[in-house]
Structure 1
Amino acid sequence: MRIFGELPGLYEGDSFRNRLELSQSGVHKPTQAGISGGQNEGADSIIVSGGYEDDEDYGDIIIYTGHGGRDLSTGKQVTNQELVRGNLALAESCKNGLPVRVIRGAHRKSNFAPEDNYRYDGLFRVEDYWKEKGKSNFIVWRFRLRKIEGELKKQSNVLQEEQAEYNSKEDKQTKRIETRVQRIVRDTILSKKIKEKYKYTCQVCDTQIETSSGYYAEAAHIKPLGAPHNGPDSEDNLLCLCPNHHVMFDYGGFGILKNFELIGIEGKLKIMKGHLINKDYLRYHLEHFYDEKNR
């Protein structure tokens, strides 16, 4: 049974002598792989031990490199990574808001690594994932994880309890479990302006969602805000989308070509007069989020 979240008797800072001890304790079951998870379930734990040259560790934020394509003798990337197996498991954890146990191993590349052995460093949430060319000029998948604190940690523990209850059912009957995915929705003046320009109508499907308090749409950034993407909060980096197409766009379900034709789904982006979209941002999204191999 795969458990997402904290384990009974496990405390942040607990030390483990080796991978076998980690596996036997259930904290991180694989004795070799750095990602524990199933591509249809999600990832329950990862190990950060400096094995991948593109890893970045900032303490409460980790830019984690997915698995695959590494020369074990040199640690260098020698082939492209793909969004499969453990990488896809981390992507599932991102989409479904599942907590991930983070274990750091001793190595000299990080000030946050233990001096020796392995250390459990708490629960993290996968905030984002994308692909890019790494230091060795091969495609790697990157995952930004942020440490879970306070109320988010309580929600993660509730999710774990619900999952344990579900897995303990002997009759294996289908049961609905409510989970929550936290997505930051920025409603700036520019966001409101772009939604009003399109009269709250999705630029992809032409849907206008009506609620009891008026119309609803979401402003989507083409090149994401914040590190490492650092896209601007500007009108030429914004789209007006329905919630479904916003999620699909953020997670690479489709891309937009420079002629505004859609790739991954049929259709063409609707553009209102005066909305000048920066095509460099469209290219960035295609290069970092859209994965044609998984079509």
Structure 2
Amino acid sequence: MERIFGEIEGIKEGHIFSNRMEVSLAKVHRPTQAGISGSQNEGADSIVISGGYEDDKDFGDIIIYTGHGGRSNETGKQVADQQLKRQNLALAKSCLEGLPVRVIRGKHKGSIYSPNEGYRYDGLFLIEEYWRKKGKSGFYVWLFRLRKIKNLKLIVEESEEEYKSKRVPTQIQRIIRNTNLSRKIKEMYRYKCQVCDIQIETSSGYYAEASHIKPLGTPHNGPDSLDNLLCLCPNHHVMFDFGGFSIMENFEILGIDAKLTIHKDHTINPKYTKYHFEHFYSEQNRTDLK
């Protein structure tokens, strides 16, 4: 069954469900019991917060969410350490990939933000960070900080051709990135930087960043397409964005001693590398070339 990241068609924020089965049938949160919907390979697409874990903290637009596992069904207390695996690893994956998470709040007395009855869909959140600490019962838990996405409707498209730099009008105009393309470029290179070939390993998997050669935002208006993307480590992503190095139309690297790795299935459009060179490569470096 395909996992859906982002909004569910026909379900608006504030929608009330009578029970978990209704939530599941609407595809907002498929599990009828588990609080986290996701897999460690794909990421987490939704969570339910209903006061089940003593270390949860709900501040409305910010949620400190306790991971899964180690809780007694009888007392609700932690009786064992949590591990960064399965659903917890799914949340960590969403944090690394920047995937949106649907939040559903259930009725409980511990939060002024919970509904009076049933379950309520409360919109999309991003996981900002996660960490491990000893909880109230003295056992280690994994905590995830979620922040609500405001004034922004996330759209995930399946077709690359249909998804070309979509813009959504809000209080200001912002570009909605295709998370499928970001994941595709990283998986193509096995999360290895195309410049230094480094593969960064974290407690929840490999980490890399998708970098647009011609930026999406105004005034550049580059496309959100595979031929305008690179898979880079954080260091080379920052260096590239700020002109520390550039790429010629023949894909040679200027500014640093490195060679660009290009996968056989990855076609890079040279007009985008030319644009980056003309707009971001420093004048000093250009002078040094003469």
1:162 is aligned, of 158, 163, 168, to: 158
For residues 108-128 of structure 1, the C-alpha deviation after alignment (integer angstroms, 9 at most, x for no partner) is 000100011000000000000
For residues 26-48 of structure 1, the C-alpha deviation after alignment (integer angstroms, 9 at most, x for no partner) is 11000110000011000000000
1:245-256 pair list within 5 angstroms: none
Q: Which residue of 1 aligns with 2:114?
A: 113
Q: Distance in 2 between matches of 1:89 and 1:68?
A: 13
Report the CA distance shift for 1:86/1:164 in structure 2 as closer, same or farther (over 3 A): farther
The yes-or-no answer on 1:91 pairing with 2:60 is no
1:211 positional shift = 6.2
1:74-223 pair list within 5 angstroms: 74-150=75-151, 153-154=152-153, 156-157=154-155, 160-162=156-158, 177-178=181-182
Q: Is the 8 A contact 1:97 1:181 kept in 2?
A: no
Report the CA distance shift for 1:2/1:138 in structure 2 as closer, same or farther (over 3 A): same
Q: What is the SS of the residue equivalent to 1:75? A: coil
1:213 positional shift = 6.7
For residues 121-150 of structure 1, the C-alpha deviation after alignment (integer angstroms, 9 at most, x for no partner) is 000000000000000010000000000012
Q: What is the SS of the residue equivalent to 2:181? A: coil
Q: Distance in 1 between matches of 2:127 and 2:107?
A: 22
Unaligned runs of 5+ in 1: 167-175, 183-206, 217-295
Question: For this pair of structures, how many residues does the alignment match?
Answer: 178
The yes-or-no answer on 1:17 pairing with 2:18 is yes
1:231-246 pair list within 5 angstroms: none
Q: Which residue of 2 aligns with 1:69?
A: 70
Q: What is the SS of the residue equivalent to 2:51? A: coil
Report the CA distance shift for 1:31/1:165 in structure 2 as closer, same or farther (over 3 A): farther
Root-mean-square deviation over aligned CA pairs: 2.9
Q: Distance in 2 between matches of 1:104 and 1:212?
A: 39
* AA of the residue aligned to 2:158: E
* AA of the residue aligned to 1:34: G
Normalized per residue, which structure has more helix?
1
Q: Distance in 1 between matches of 2:159 and 2:76?
A: 37
For residues 220-265 of structure 1, the C-alpha deviation after alignment (integer angstroms, 9 at most, x for no partner) is xxxxxxxxxxxxxxxxxxxxxxxxxxxxxxxxxxxxxxxxxxxxxx
For residues 243-295 of structure 1, the C-alpha deviation after alignment (integer angstroms, 9 at most, x for no partner) is xxxxxxxxxxxxxxxxxxxxxxxxxxxxxxxxxxxxxxxxxxxxxxxxxxxxx
* AA of the residue aligned to 1:38: S
Structure number, greater radius of gyration: 2
Report the CA distance shift for 1:24/1:96 in structure 2 as closer, same or farther (over 3 A): same
1:75 positional shift = 0.5
1:16-35 pair list within 5 angstroms: 16-35=17-36
Report the CA distance shift for 1:14/1:40 in structure 2 as closer, same or farther (over 3 A): same
For residues 205-227 of structure 1, the C-alpha deviation after alignment (integer angstroms, 9 at most, x for no partner) is xx9x97697759xxxxxxxxxxx
Q: Distance in 2 between matches of 1:29 and 1:164?
A: 27
State TM-score, norm by structure 2. Answer: 0.57
1:165 positional shift = 9.1
1:178 positional shift = 3.0
State TM-score, norm by structure 1. Answer: 0.56
* AA of the residue aligned to 1:177: L
Runs of 4+ in 1 over 2 A off after TM superposition: 162-166, 178-182, 209-216
Q: Which residue of 2 aligns with 1:198?
A: none
